[in-house]
Amino acid sequence: MPDITETFSAGAPRELALKSAPDLLAWTCPAPLRDQPRVVMGHGGGGAMSAELVQHIFAPAFGGEVLAQLGDAATVSLGGARLAFSTDSFVVRPLFFPGGSIGDLAVNGTVNDLAMSGARAAYLSCGFILEEGVELSVVARVAEALGRAARTAGVEVATGDTKVVEAGHGDGIFINTAGIGLIPAGVDLRPQRVVPGDVVIVSGAIGVHGVAIMSVREGLEFGVEIESDCAALGGLVDTMLSVTPDLHVLRDPTRGGLAAALNEIALASGTGVLIQERSVPVPSAVANACAILGLDPMYVANEGKLVAFVPREHAEAVLAAMRAHPLGAEACVIGEVVSEHPGMVVARTGLGGTRVVDLPIGEQLPRIC
Amino acid sequence: MPDITETFSAGAPRELALKSAPDLLAWTCPAPLRDQPRVVMGHGGGGAMSAELVQHIFAPAFGGEVLAQLGDAATVSLGGARLAFSTDSFVVRPLFFPGGSIGDLAVNGTVNDLAMSGARAAYLSCGFILEEGVELSVVARVAEALGRAARTAGVEVATGDTKVVEAGHGDGIFINTAGIGLIPAGVDLRPQRVVPGDVVIVSGAIGVHGVAIMSVREGLEFGVEIESDCAALGGLVDTMLSVTPDLHVLRDPTRGGLAAALNEIALASGTGVLIQERSVPVPSAVANACAILGLDPMYVANEGKLVAFVPREHAEAVLAAMRAHPLGAEACVIGEVVSEHPGMVVARTGLGGTRVVDLPIGEQLPRIC
């Protein structure tokens, strides 16, 4: 087994000294076997194994045309209103981490899924599954964080439910939120609208949420604290749509990271995505932590970032509007849509070569949200 | 410790012979202590402890006027449409039971919550939390049951999410569903509309779901199989509303049973509820199982029944319409609303006396849904 401390001493920057030894034996393999009869961690990773589960088990069982859209949120019509409807369960470990908590994630995760279809989240549902024995003061802290995040995002918790399972049959607190919001007239965000020439923009630095969680888990603590970027993106999206409602697609690169988000769009649109690797904003603290841990920042989860596919003629104006918003101050162009290699994401490396950016199989860091 | 087999031999009917000995030591006390710093099973029971959790932790943290309605579903307005919005998590053990599965419950539980506000469920979200190691064939069977139940109920699964937790940190499969549906014009179902003189109707036999679950759990198996009444009530509610949109309140007596549902309505309406105990339909198999187990059928969970508070002038017509529907064939009047004992539920016993039917503290049978 490699000695991580030694690896660090050999070259990693001073501030990344590990405060404590990692418990490598406690790590879980995300995808030990692909064709196996049981659920493995990778099925929850937002990559190819998750997609297989949906494709082979859930979609055939549930049927329905709306589910087949497979976006971050479903678009449905009810009483003449065009609504976005989305759900996410949150099983993050630990419950509190630098820059946020499971309560913040439970709000922002669902609010952002709705925002990716252009909808401003209006109402959330909130289902708690509590493990017998968890301290009520912890439940209260999580609930307060959730309520605060909801007020910040301008969304109302309208309905809820609480279940309790016996000690040893849960893990402290699991939360599910579902959300509904109104999609503005003229907004039609979906990968099928992506065409060669579209400009690919990210709203800021990637990999921050995943590394923040990792930094406080499994005995890993770095000398420098990396805070999660967990935030609600409804306001940023409103700003972008005020420039033009004609954005093509938005995606928040959560589980599976930027690589999974770009691959999903390339596949669903049947176009190629070409990324300039050195344009992808990776903070040095994230890059260094990833180097030590053997992770690729392109695959690390985010929770306060979005990637936008914008028609070329609007790209400059949209980018300027994003940069004027606090959550888009570091927005930048990272690539473009091409007609070559349809369904694939290719990165031009710093040395001028190219590499394929695959859809991840499982998840590098399980239980990241 | 009492010998249950002996108790049976002393008088219970032949068909209730226990096929196997119950493991009494494995039972969980629903509410060991009321003022304690940790979550206990009773917090998930739908009784007084659940209400305290909502009142003291969730409601203050989340704020908001909609949540304060505290109905089975929230009523919200979006894009000019009046919507019902509700969520439930399902942690039932075992996953499959006579008459249904966690997949059926996940659909019918949320569909019924929406129906109780008069809305026909239109779209469901579905979040799975899977435990590492659970067989994919089990996940597939649950998904199929869920899909079938959705088609039966006429609701579409529009969006979903899957998370995986490590073995030993979950319990096979937990499911959360949230649902949205349109509330028809003129329908305004809420306890505040209940007035003395209203007639209380139940749609059929009570206690069946809870006893069905119990019969296959904890080593308890009765000689006679009792099947869960799990069903979607949207069609029955439509039938009732076609007689008159002026029903006052509907409730599905799930966790905490009929007693909890009646108490919630009495409390919220500030009226008294007077029940004729012998009018409450309890099948003999349920009554006998409850007698053996020391349970009160009034507190046992249902999942395919509703209780309606109907203005006296419409009661006869509504009852007739219910009886003409397959899910209301055994509907009957069980009592009325009175101005005496406001906020309390009182039952007139077979002997002519009265007893108070309290709000349960916790839950007699944990993880019933």
- Please indicate if any CB of chain B lies within 8 Å of the CB of A41: yes
Distance of CA A306 to the CA centre of its chain: 8
For residue B342, is it within any domain? Answer: yes
% of residues, chain B, pLDDT over 70: 89
Per-residue pLDDT reduced to its tens digit, B303-351? 999 999 999 999 999 999 999 999 999 999 999 999 999 999 999 998 8
For residue A300, is it within any domain? Answer: yes
A101 DSSP β-pair partners: A96
My answer on whether B174 and B215 are in the same domain is: no
Q: What is the pLDDT of residue A4?
A: 34
Q: Do A53 and B135 touch (CB under 8 A)?
A: no
CATH number at residue A278: 3.90.650.10
Q: What is the pLDDT of residue A328?
A: 98
Q: Do B123 and A76 touch (CB under 8 A)?
A: yes
Q: Do A178 and B73 touch (CB under 8 A)?
A: no
Residue B206 and residue B345 in contact, taking contact as beta carbons nearer than 8 Å: no
What is the distance in angstroms between the Cα of A333 and the nearest Cα belonging to chain B? 30
Interface test with B, best of A39, A52, A53, A56 (most B CBs within 10 A): A39
My answer on whether B170 and B250 are in the same domain is: no
My answer on whether A201 and A178 are in the same domain is: no
- Please indicate if any CB of chain A lies within 8 Å of the CB of B222: no
CATH number at residue B168: 3.30.1330.10
Q: What is the pLDDT of residue B208?
A: 94
Question: Could you give the number of structural domains in chain B?
Answer: 2
- The segment with the largest mean pLDDT, out of A18-32, A65-79, A328-342, is A328-342
- Please indicate if any CB of chain B lies within 8 Å of the CB of A152: no
Residue A250 and residue A298 in contact, taking contact as beta carbons nearer than 8 Å: no
Q: What is the pLDDT of residue A360?
A: 85
Query: Chain A 165-204, CB below 8 Å of chain B: which residues?
Result: 165-166, 168-171, 174, 176, 178, 180-182
Per CB-CB distance under 8 Å, the chain B contacts of A127 are 87-89, 176, 178
Distance of CA A52 to the CA centre of its chain: 19
Q: Where are the alpha helices (DSSP H) in B207-269?
A: 208-215, 234-243, 257-269
Residues near B108 by Cβ (< 8 Å), separated by ≥ 6? B149, B153, B230, B231, B232, B233, B303, B304
- Please indicate if any CB of chain B lies within 8 Å of the CB of A37: yes
Q: What is the pLDDT of residue A220?
A: 67
- B121: closest chain A residue by CA: A78
pLDDT-based confidence at residue B6 (cuts at 50, 70, 90): very low
The mean pLDDT value of chain B amounts to 89
pLDDT-based confidence at residue B91 (cuts at 50, 70, 90): very high
pLDDT-based confidence at residue A183 (cuts at 50, 70, 90): very high
C-alpha–C-alpha distance, residues B146 and B126, integer Å: 10
My answer on whether A163 and A239 are in the same domain is: no
| Boundary residue ending a domain (B133, B153, B182) | B182
> Which of A178, A173, A38 has the alpha carbon at shortest distance from A95?
A173
- A62: closest chain B residue by CA: B147
Per-residue pLDDT reduced to its tens digit, A145-176? 999 999 999 999 999 999 999 999 999 999 99
Predicted TM-score (pTM) of the model is 0.90
Burial grade of A105 (CB within 10 A; 0-12, 13-18, 19 or more): buried
Per-residue pLDDT reduced to its tens digit, B34-69? 567 999 999 998 888 998 999 999 999 998 888 877
Per-residue pLDDT reduced to its tens digit, B261-290? 999 999 999 999 999 999 999 999 999 989
Tokens found for residue A68: 């087949």
Number of H helices and E strands in chain B, helices first, is 10, 14
My answer on whether B163 and B224 are in the same domain is: no
Lowest mean pLDDT among A214-223, B83-92, B95-104, B353-362: A214-223
> Which of A281, A259, A282, A271 has the alpha carbon at shortest distance from A356?
A259
pLDDT-based confidence at residue A34 (cuts at 50, 70, 90): low
**Region A40-46 average pLDDT:** 89
For residue B323, give its domain range. 191-356
Instruction: Return the H-helix or E-strand segment holding A316.
Output: helix A312-323
Q: How many CB pairs under 8 A join A and B?
A: 297
Burial grade of B324 (CB within 10 A; 0-12, 13-18, 19 or more): exposed
Per-residue pLDDT reduced to its tens digit, A77-109? 999 999 999 999 999 999 999 999 999 999 999
My answer on whether B210 and B292 are in the same domain is: yes
My answer on whether B141 and B249 are in the same domain is: no
Q: What is the pLDDT of residue A230?
A: 96
B164 DSSP β-pair partners: B130
Interface test with B, best of A28, A125, A173 (most B CBs within 10 A): A125
Residues near B315 by Cβ (< 8 Å), separated by ≥ 6? B199, B201, B333
Per CB-CB distance under 8 Å, the chain B contacts of A78 are 81, 83, 122-123, 180-182
Per-residue pLDDT reduced to its tens digit, B184-238? 999 999 999 999 999 999 999 999 999 999 888 866 666 678 899 999 999 999 9
